[in-house]
Structure formats: C-alpha cells, structure tokens
Chains A and B, each alone.
Chain A
Amino acid sequence: MYNQTEIIKDTSELGADGELVINMGPQHPATHGVLHLVVTLNGETIKKIEPHLGYIHRSIEKMCESLTYRQFIYVTSRMDYLSSHINNLGCALLIEKGMQIEVPDRAKYIRVILSELTRIASHELWLGAMAMDLGAFTPFFYAFREREMITDIMEDTCGARLTMNYIVPGGLMYDLHPDFQKKVKAFITQFKSKVTEYEDLVTNNIIFQSRTKGVGILSAEDAISYGCTGPVARASGVSCDIRKIYPYEVYDKVEFDEVLETAGDSFARYMVRVKEMNQSIRIIEQLIDNIPEGDFVGKTKNVLKLPKGEFYTRVETARGEFGVYVVSEGGTTPHRIKFRSPGFSNLSVLNHISVGSMIGDLMASMGTLDLVIPDIDR
C-alpha cells in the first residue's frame, strides 16, 4: 500500500531515462469528470497510461441492495447520466422478466422512442465535447442546440432533463405529453437540416481528419478481449449491437442497420456514432406515428418481489452494453446486484491504443471512447 507522500513522490518525479510522469486529472479539461490518468511520457510520446479510479465512487451497487425494486431504478440514472433513460430501461426489463409482468405495447413503443432520443442526445453531447477536446469549440454549441430540443422534449414528458426516471416496472410513470409527437417531428426536421453542418465543421475538416485517422487503432481481437462494446467495438468491425442480437421491446419490429466500420481508429469511432444518430432518427420515424393507444402501464402488484434466483438483462446504451445482474433471495430488495457498465471496459483499452502516440492523440482516442466517469466509477 502507498501512503500519500509516496504517491506524490512516485508520480511527480522524473522516471527512468528522463521519462516525464504527469498527472492528468482528476481536474483536467479533457478528462470530463474526475478521471485521473497517470501518463508516462517520453517527450511528447506516451509510454504508459494508468487510469486511477475511485474519485466519484458512490457504491451504487451496494446502495441498490437496500432499496426496493421500485426504488432502485432511479439510482441507475446517476451512473451513465447521458443514457439514464436506457439504464432505467435495463433495470425495468430485469424486473419485468423476473416477475413476468406484461408491458403494454404503448409503453414499449414509447420506451424505444425515448431510448433513441436519449442516444441521439448523448451522441450530440459527445460530438461537441470531443470536438472541444480537439480544440474546436464551436461545434459544441451547435451540437448543444439540437440536444437542447431533446432535453426539452424530455422535460415535457418526463419532467426532468437528465435523470428522467420515467420508466417503472410494468410500463411508464405517466402518459406522454400531448405535444410529444409534434415536438419530436420538429426535432427530426431540425436535425436533418443541421447534419451537414457537422460535416462541414468536423467530419470533412482536414485538420480533424488528420487528427483522428489512424489514431488509437483498436483491432477487432483486442476489442473482443478487452470486452469493448458499443460504438467502440463496432468501429473495429465487431458486431455487438444488443438491439440486433437480443432485441428487446420493439427493436425486432423496426428496421435499422447496425453501423459497422472496420478501421478501428478514432475516425471510425467518430463515424459510427454519427451514423448511429441517423439510424436512431430512422427508428424514431418508424415508430412516432404508430404509437398504439392503450394503457401506459401494466398491472403490477403493489410490492414487487423477484422470485429466488439469478437474473440478467442487457440493453444497448449510447456507450455499449449495459448489463444488470441481480441475485434475488425472494425478498423485496435485491440480495446482490451488479451492473456491467460499458465505460469501464472501454476505458481499459486506453493504455493499449495510446502507447506510442502523442499527447494530442490521447485526446482524440479518449474523446472517441466517449467516457462518462460516473459510469466507470459507480
């Protein structure tokens, strides 16, 4: 075990051969949160990256063990706060699966639409933040303009902008806002007209391309062996979209493509996310006019009790596979709970893909891994 002075000494003095050890974070503009990277440099070249975690650990899993099945869902919004809706959905699905609760079709449709909106919002934020990491400030504001429309929709329907907690076991907390469809359609129109803007400002920009092409290459084998999921793995050509492989809700009824790229570099990861936004729009367009009438919540008992046993569900968040694993003793609270968060595995490749590249490349690789620190450090 280290004591504190040793840590400071350890990370602040020159290493062997004049290596420079710098602490990026926990307060650093590019780590977007409290990630602490101990980076060993040789000049500008990265020799080693060690992520240090624990700065925002809230022991959410332990906390969930003392909450009832209705209550613990809202806590998961605080993990990957950009996909909070999808996290909630994962937990609700687990309970519905365990207790065989029938979910009305209307709720299923709405859940999917909101999930896709969440995904777009998350990708928009990521796009802006990553462009900012690479030194372009302006796309951030343009991306936020579109994201703002989604948060407004969320605010109307769910009552909150980020931590919605709109999903309850068996359906939804309350019905859609009457304006929902109109606003979503307005958003789709706006989004489609503004997509070219990102292309002009970011995608086709020669500086952006040279900063990201061939940077942080992750091979398909490595992606699998590190357990990467989501856009990170799909950019390396690994097909892993839960929505396609284990379709939940109504994903088997809609048409969409799993976006795959083969290059595995930062630019491929960028392209996957940008194309995914378009696919999400496609899903929403198919569903928005066909939301069936009916109940928004199914019949559930007042007190939920999961039968004795082990349960696992997975959903595709904006960052990859989010898994919920619950061991139940038959009581009203989970006996043990474990979340499989996509960010943790995605972060673990950071060292692998950045060794030998430059500090500037680290920003590109880290940006395109799309890390949300509270998701890594639960």
Chain B
Amino acid sequence: MFLKEYITDVVTGVISLLKGMRKTGYYFTHPKEIITEQYPDNRATLLMSDRFKGEVVMPHDANNEHTCTGCTACELACPNGTIKVVTKFETSPEGKKKKAIDALVYRLELCTMCNLCIVACPSDAIKMAPNFEHSVFDRTKLTKVLNQPGSKIRKGIE
C-alpha cells in the first residue's frame, strides 16, 4: 500500500512537471507568440490611444487663435496648482476693456493627468495630447506656456 502511494506520488509529480515544461517548450519553439514591442525603433508606427493623457495642450488654429477666455476655471479645478492663468485686459477696437489671457502657465512636473481641468474648461480651450516622451535634462523646461506667442482668442468666443 505504502509503495503504491509512493509510486503514484512520484508519477503524478513528474507528470505535472512535464506538463509545465510542455507549455514553456511550446512558447520556446513558437517565436510568433513573442509580444515585446521594440519601443524606440517603432516610434514611427507606434499607435497611441487617442485619449491617452500625456500632457495638457492648447490647440491653436491656422490663424494662431485659441478659444481660451481666461476664465480660470481650469486653475480652480486643478487639485495641485499645476495651471496658473495670467490674465490681462485688452482693449477692443470699440474701446471696451475685455479680460483675456496673457499666459496659461502649465507645469508638467506637477501634473497628475487627472483630466479635471479639461472637463472644467467651458470653452474646450485645452485638451490632452497623447505625447509621453517628456524627459528633459533641465526641470525648468517642464514649465510651459500653453498659449503660443502672439496668439489671440478666436472671434465669437465669450
């Protein structure tokens, strides 16, 4: 009886091990199953998800115009003070004074990509870009001004 148990022990043990080896052996002999991506080489063909939250950007159109009104909703929504909206007063041709943005300062090193600012923005002036290669040698390079120099607010946006 003891001997029988002993032998079944050995046999079932060995079989379970062999099964495992069959699985790994299968993968060894099937290089097609390899799933690694050759990252820096495949930059050109790399498909990023369109919603990927990589950094906050402000889209500008061909006339160098954006839609940011300087309402500071994004600044208020941000949990960690990543965005600072610096406003100025512009005088319109009719002589009326109007609030507009001077600079929308965005500090990438603080951003947690939580998307709250984007949701908060009433005029869809900012959005997330799927760019993830952010490393720089100098930290100050991570502090960005999102509105392009000389840009203006698009007509008709209040």
Direct contact of A and B (CB under 8 A): yes
- The residues of A with any CB-CB pair to B shorter than 8 Å are 67, 70-72, 74-75, 138, 145, 148, 152, 155-160, 163, 165, 168, 173-174, 177, 197, 200-201, 204-207
Q: Are B19 and A200 in contact (CB under 8 A)?
A: yes
A157-B51 contact, Cβ under 8 Å, with A71-B116, A168-B119:
yes
Contacts of B128 in A (CB 8 A): 159
Given the interface pairs A155-B52, A159-B51, A165-B114, the reply to whether A201 lies near B79 with Cβ below 8 Å is no
B93 within 8 A of A: no
Interface check B53, CB cutoff 8 A: yes
How far apart are the CA atoms of A160 and B23 in the complex, in Å?
Answer: 33
Sample of 13 more A-B contacts, CB < 8 Å, known A158-B51, A165-B113: A74-B79, A74-B112, A74-B116, A157-B51, A159-B51, A160-B52, A165-B114, A165-B116, A177-B51, A197-B23, A205-B20, A206-B12, A206-B16
- A residues in contact with B114, CB < 8 Å: 74, 165
A174 to B51, CA, bound (A): 10
Q: Which of A70, A75, A160 contacts B113 (CB 8 A)?
A: A160
B residues near A, CB below 8 A?
A: 12-13, 16-17, 19-20, 22-24, 35, 49, 51-53, 77, 79, 112-116, 119, 128
Number of A-B contacts (CB under 8 A): 63
Per the bound structure, the CA–CA distance linking A165 and B128 in Å amounts to 14
Interface of A is mostly: helix
Residue in contact with B20 in the complex, picked from A156, A157, A201, CB distance below 8 Å: A201
Write the chain A residue with the least CB distance to B130: A159
CA separation between A156 and B17, bound complex, in Å? 39
Q: Is B53 in contact with A160, judged by CB distance below 8 angstroms?
A: yes
In the bound complex, residues from chain A placing their C-beta under 8 Å from that of B53 are 159-160
Q: Which residues of B contact A159 (CB under 8 A)?
A: 49, 51-53, 113, 115, 128
Q: Whole-angstrom distance between the alpha carbons of A145 and B53 in the complex?
A: 22
CB neighbours (8 Å) of A70 from chain B are: 77, 116
* Chain B residues near A67 (CB-CB < 8 A): 79
Bound complex: CA of A201 vs CA of B24, how far in Å?
Answer: 8
Contact (A200, B22) CB under 8 Å given A70-B116, A158-B51: yes
Within 8 Å by CB of A205, from B17, B22, B51, lies B17
Complex: A165 Cα to B16 Cα, angstroms: 43
Residues in B with CB closer than 8 Å to A206 are: 12-13, 16-17
Contact yes or no, A138 B24, CB < 8 A: yes
Residues of A within 8 A of B19 (CB): 200, 204
Interchain nearest-CB distance for A267 vs B (Å): 14
Q: Which of A160, A168, A173 has the most CB of B within 10 A?
A: A160
Tell me the smallest distance from the CB of A201 to a CB of chain B, in Å. Answer: 5
- With A75-B79, A156-B49, A206-B12 as given contacts, are A201 and B112 in contact (CB-CB < 8 Å)? no
Taking CB atoms, residues of chain A closer than 8 Å to B77 are: 70-71
Residues on A with C-beta less than 8 A from B112 are: 74, 163
Q: How far is the CA of A74 from the CA of B77 in the complex (A)?
A: 12
Docked-complex contact A204 and B16, CB < 8 angstroms: yes
CA A148 to CA B51, docked complex, whole Å: 17
Closest chain B CB from A229 CB (angstroms): 28
Give the CA-CA distance A269 to B133 in the complex, in Å: 40
Inter-chain contacts of A205 with B (CB < 8 A): 16-17, 20
* CA A71 to CA B12, docked complex, whole Å: 56
Across the interface, name the chain A residue whose C-beta is closest to B10. A206
13 residue pairs bridging A and B, Cβ less than 8 Å apart: A70-B77, A70-B116, A71-B77, A71-B79, A74-B112, A74-B116, A159-B115, A163-B112, A174-B51, A200-B20, A204-B19, A206-B12, A206-B13
Q: How far in angstroms is the closest Cβ of chain A from B130?
A: 9
Query: Knowing A74-B79, A168-B119, A205-B16 touch, does A200 contact B23 (C-beta < 8 A)?
Result: yes
The 6 closest A-B pairs by CB, nearest first: A71-B79, A206-B13, A74-B114, A159-B51, A159-B53, A155-B49
Q: Are B116 and A148 in contact, CB atoms less than 8 angstroms apart? A: no
* Alpha-carbon distance between A197 and B23 when the two chains are bound, in angstroms: 7
Residues of B within 8 A of A156 (CB): 49, 51
* Chain A residues closer than 8 Å to B35, beta-carbon distance: 145, 148
